[in-house]
């Protein structure tokens, strides 16, 4: 390949629109690809107050009019939004005069647009599968879910290569969609180590006071408050930990389980020990991760577990459930503590191990921080992504489409 490589990312979320993990993933990936000399276009949904077209950190972002009439349901909205996304992207590629090498779609949310553009412009399509419907729902139970599942399967079928962020997801995606092994590549999710450490560590005591008294340890949960994140396991571990340690349990995030769980906490008489902060801004989140005595990721289903990486990069010890991508990120007793999923006793045991042994805790922190540098820096992942692009383009160059 000669000249500048050009990629178009399709994603339903991109900062400042942040719904889940895809938004920061695509942002960091795009930024690092641009830093490595690639031309990167991002086509994404619009967001109030954000321009339709702008350049962020070397990445050219186009925000398209997402479907704004009331929609029958979420999936139908996704398909309708894809009409506009595909239309605008087609217009853009046409204006580029064919100067595009790769289409890169993130999850089924942009499957239609990615697949259509692939055939119309005859360019190779790559798909990153961040999560699956069958994993999120722990099975397929309704036609609605099966429709999404089949849309995911369709995307992986049409993709030249499928990228998964953990070995767990590689085997999960192979099982879910029956893909051949050599169609899937594992590229880990990354973490912006600088960003996680950019906040001043001084002045934490003032900040900390907003969440806990000085004698209380801070046990932090960050995530959507939904069943698959195991937040109910976390709440049930609270009284067990309090038997041995004085701690404040800070829960960051929102979701449909917030209300029932805060009622549960009230009925346990522990409202003074558990704090629901709701959604917080990035700086507050970094500060919280920076001053937490332990960060807990008790998920039941976790394709990757970016929040564990962020905690490790912020030099906070982690306790994670031994499942999915978390199993790979954390090495037990070396870079964190692994506990049995969906088991409050096991979780409480893990939290107490960290809280009650200062030396053990700093040993974990030190090892985890080193591991992050070795494996999860975006620079490295950006370079690995370019390698995948190049190998796809090499195959593509031998096809009649090129």
Partner 1 sequence: MHVIIFTWEFPPRTVGQLADYVKRLAVQLSQKAVNTDVVTYHEFSTGKEEEPEGIKTYRVTNPVKTHIGVLTWVLTLNQEVERVASNIYYNAGRQVALVDAHDWHFIHAAVTLKKAFKLPFIYSVESLEEHRSHGANFPFNMAIKSIEWLGLYEAKKIIVKSEWMRDEVIRIYNVPEDKIKVVMPDSQEWIDGILKTYKGLAGGAG
Select 152 or 310, whichever has its Cβ closest to partner 1: 152
Cα–Cα distance measured from residue 171 to residue 148, given in angstroms and rounded to the nearest whole number:
19
- Name the 3-class secondary structure at 377: strand
Select 49 or 400, whichever has its Cβ closest to partner 1: 400
CA atoms within 13 A on the CB side of 300: 18
Select 119 or 200, whichever has its Cβ closest to partner 1: 119
Cα–Cα distance measured from residue 82 to residue 75, given in angstroms and rounded to the nearest whole number:
11
Sequence-distant (≥ 6) Cβ neighbours of residue 253 within 8 angstroms: 221, 222, 223, 224, 225, 278, 279
Place of tokens 């934490």: 204
Select 84 or 383, whichever has its Cβ closest to partner 1: 84
CB 197, min distance to partner 1, A: 44
Select 116 or 298, whichever has its Cβ closest to partner 1: 116
CB 92, min distance to partner 1, A: 9
Q: What is the DSSP letter of 330?
A: P
CB 70, min distance to partner 1, A: 4
Select 147 or 186, whichever has its Cβ closest to partner 1: 147
Select 104 or 224, whichever has its Cβ closest to partner 1: 104
CB 90, min distance to partner 1, A: 4
Select 45 or 339, whichever has its Cβ closest to partner 1: 45
Residues across the chain: 402
Place of tokens 């605008």: 88
Cα–Cα distance measured from residue 155 to residue 167, given in angstroms and rounded to the nearest whole number:
20
Cα–Cα distance measured from residue 57 to residue 369, given in angstroms and rounded to the nearest whole number:
26
Cα–Cα distance measured from residue 216 to residue 242, given in angstroms and rounded to the nearest whole number:
11
Cα–Cα distance measured from residue 32 to residue 55, given in angstroms and rounded to the nearest whole number:
14
**Interaction site with partner 1 (CB under 8 A):** 67, 69-73, 75-76, 79-80, 82-83, 86-88, 90-91, 93-94, 112, 115-116, 119-122, 143-144, 146-147, 149-151, 154, 157
CB 80, min distance to partner 1, A: 6
Burial 43-62 (b: 16+ CB within 10 A, else e): bbbbeeebeeeeeeeebbbb
Burial bucket for residue 245 (CB in 10 Å: 0-12, 13-18, 19+): middle
The dihedral sign for the CA sequence 264, 269, 274, 278: positive
């Amino acid at each position: 390949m000669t000249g500048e490589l050009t990629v178009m990312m399709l994603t339903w979320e991109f900062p400042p629109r942040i719904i889940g993990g895809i938004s920061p993933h695509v942002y960091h990936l795009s930024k690092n690809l641009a830093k490595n000399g690639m031309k990167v276009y991002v086509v994404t949904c619009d967001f109030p107050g954000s321009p339709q077209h702008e350049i962020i950190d070397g990445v050219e972002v186009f925000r398209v009019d997402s479907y704004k009439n009331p929609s029958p349901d979420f999936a139908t909205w996704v398909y309708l939004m894809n009409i506009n996304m595909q239309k605008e992207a087609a217009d853009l590629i046409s204006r580029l005069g064919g100067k595009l090498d790769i289409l890169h779609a993130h999850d089924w949310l942009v499957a239609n647009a990615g697949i259509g553009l692939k055939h119309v412009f005859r360019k190779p399509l790559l798909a990153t599968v961040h999560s699956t419907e069958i994993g999120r729902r722990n099975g397929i139970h309704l036609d609605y879910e099966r429709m999404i599942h089949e849309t995911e399967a369709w995307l992986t079928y049409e993709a030249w290569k499928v990228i998964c962020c953990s070995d767990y997801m590689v085997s999960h995606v192979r099982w879910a969609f029956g893909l051949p092994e050599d169609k899937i590549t594992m590229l880990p999710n990354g973490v912006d180590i600088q960003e996680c450490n950019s906040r001043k560590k001084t002045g934490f005591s003032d900040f900390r006071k907003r969440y806990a008294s000085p004698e209380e340890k801070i046990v932090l949960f960050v995530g959507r408050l939904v069943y698959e994140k195991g937040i109910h396991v976390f709440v049930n571990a609270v009284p067990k930990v309090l038997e041995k340690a004085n701690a404040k349990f800070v829960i960051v995030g929102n979701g449909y389980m917030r209300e029932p769980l805060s009622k549960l906490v009230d009925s346990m008489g522990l409202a003074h020990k558990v704090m629901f902060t709701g959604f917080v801004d990035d700086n507050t989140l970094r500060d919280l991760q920076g001053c937490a005595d332990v960060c807990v990721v008790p998920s039941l289903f976790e394709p990757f577990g970016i929040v564990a990486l962020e905690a490790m990069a912020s030099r906070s010890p982690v306790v994670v459930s031994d499942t999915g991508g978390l199993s790979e990120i954390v090495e037990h007793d070396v870079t964190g503590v692994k506990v049995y999923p969906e088991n409050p006793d096991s979780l409480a045991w893990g939290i107490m191990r960290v809280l009650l042994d200062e030396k053990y805790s700093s040993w974990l922190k030190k090892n985890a921080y080193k591991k992050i540098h070795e494996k999860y820096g975006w620079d490295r992942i950006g370079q690995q992504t370019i390698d995948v692009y190049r190998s796809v383009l090499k195959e593509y160059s031998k096809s009649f489409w090129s």
